[in-house]
Amino acid sequence: MIKEISDIMIRNRIISLTIAAVIIYSQALNAQADKKYIRKGNREYEKNKFSESEILYRKSIDKNKNAPDAVFNIGDALYKQNKFEDAGKQFMENLNLNEDKDKKSAALYNLGNSLLKANKVKESIDAYKGSLKLNPRNPEAKYNLAYAQDLLKQQQEQQQQQQQQQNKDKQDQKKDQNKQDNKDQNNQDKEQQNNEKQNQDQQDQQQEMSKDDAQRLLDALANEEKNVQEKVKLAKAAKERVRTTKNW
């Protein structure tokens, strides 16, 4: 009974070792395959066939998910295709996969280049600084850092000038608007004065006409009274003639 158990344990041990060997062998084959695709991708990259090299690098990752060199190379291929934001993502991923300081520094340097090309100047400065902390001897990182800092300063000065110009334009527009408002107000005042003058003239004309009408009425009444008086005189004279005639 003890022997049978021992045989079973031995067989299980052999099976376990066989499985482990198969896994190791499979991993070795995958490792060889991913490096094979990296080498092929490098050859295409050197021929400036960046799209083709990207495809081969991605095939390498299919064989080995944790292939930092392939991730880094994909970033390079994307950068050469002017896909700067996508390239930056690859360099960030490579940064997380690597433990080697020099490789981390290289990933940060390329990340800085990608950010700079994507016009993210402030972020690129941070990346270059991070690269130099890990590898202070990189002259290209120093040069690009200085360039990015100068570029950021120029952009800030331009933004300040644009803001000042915008403020000046707003002030000029406000002054012009005030002038126009004053001009419109003056025109309205003049128009109002003209209207008031016209109304006054009309009132004066009406008053003048009223005076003329009153004078004509007075003249008419005077004439009528005169006519009445003359009729009265004539009537009196007629009576006197009548009486004289009667006396005869």
Tell me the pLDDT tens digit for each residue of 114-166.
999 999 999 999 999 999 999 999 999 999 999 999 999 999 999 999 999 99
* pLDDT value at residue 201: 81
Give the count of domains, the chain. 1
User: Within a domain: residue 103?
Assistant: yes
Tokens of 203: 């009132």
* pLDDT value at residue 222: 77
User: Within a domain: residue 106?
Assistant: yes
User: Within a domain: residue 247?
Assistant: no
User: Within a domain: residue 85?
Assistant: yes
| CATH number of 110's domain | 1.25.40.10
Least-confidence region, from 2-16, 18-32, 95-109? 18-32
User: Within a domain: residue 162?
Assistant: no
Q: Residue 28 above 80 pLDDT?
A: no
* pLDDT value at residue 240: 53
Q: 22 pLDDT band (50/70/90 cuts)?
A: very low
Burial class from Cβ neighbours inside 10 Å (0-12, 13-18, 19+) for residue 79 reads buried
Q: 27 pLDDT band (50/70/90 cuts)?
A: very low
- Mean pLDDT within 67-84: 96
User: Within a domain: residue 47?
Assistant: yes
pTM summary value: 0.60
* pLDDT value at residue 171: 87
User: Within a domain: residue 242?
Assistant: no
Full residue range of the structural domain in which residue 100 is found: 12-137
Chain segment 80-110, per-residue pLDDT in tens: 999 999 999 999 999 999 889 999 999 999 9
Considering only residues 203 and 72, tell me which one the structure prediction assigns the higher pLDDT: 72
User: Within a domain: residue 111?
Assistant: yes
Q: Please report the sign of the dihedral spanned by the C-alpha atoms of residue 96, residue 99, residue 103, residue 106.
A: positive
Average pLDDT, the chain: 82
Amino acid at 248: W
Least-confidence region, from 19-28, 34-43, 139-148, 185-194? 19-28
Residue 82 near residue 121 (C-beta atoms within 8 A): no
Q: 29 pLDDT band (50/70/90 cuts)?
A: very low
Chain segment 191-248, per-residue pLDDT in tens: 888 888 888 888 777 776 677 777 787 787 777 777 767 776 776 665 555 443 343 3
Mind spelling out the 3-state secondary structure of the chain? Answer: CHHHHHHHHHHHHHHHHHHHHHHHHHHHHHHHHHHHHHHHHHHHHHCCCHHHHHHHHHHHHHHCCCCHHHHHHHHHHHHHCCCHHHHHHHHHHHHHHCCCHHHHHHHHHHHHHHHHHCCCHHHHHHHHHHHHHHCCCCHHHHHHHHHHHHHHHHHHHHHHHHHHHHHHHHHHHHHHHHHHHHHHHHHHHHHHHHHHHHHHHHHHHHHHHHHHHHHHHHHHHHHHHHHHHHHHHHHHHHHHHHHHHHHC
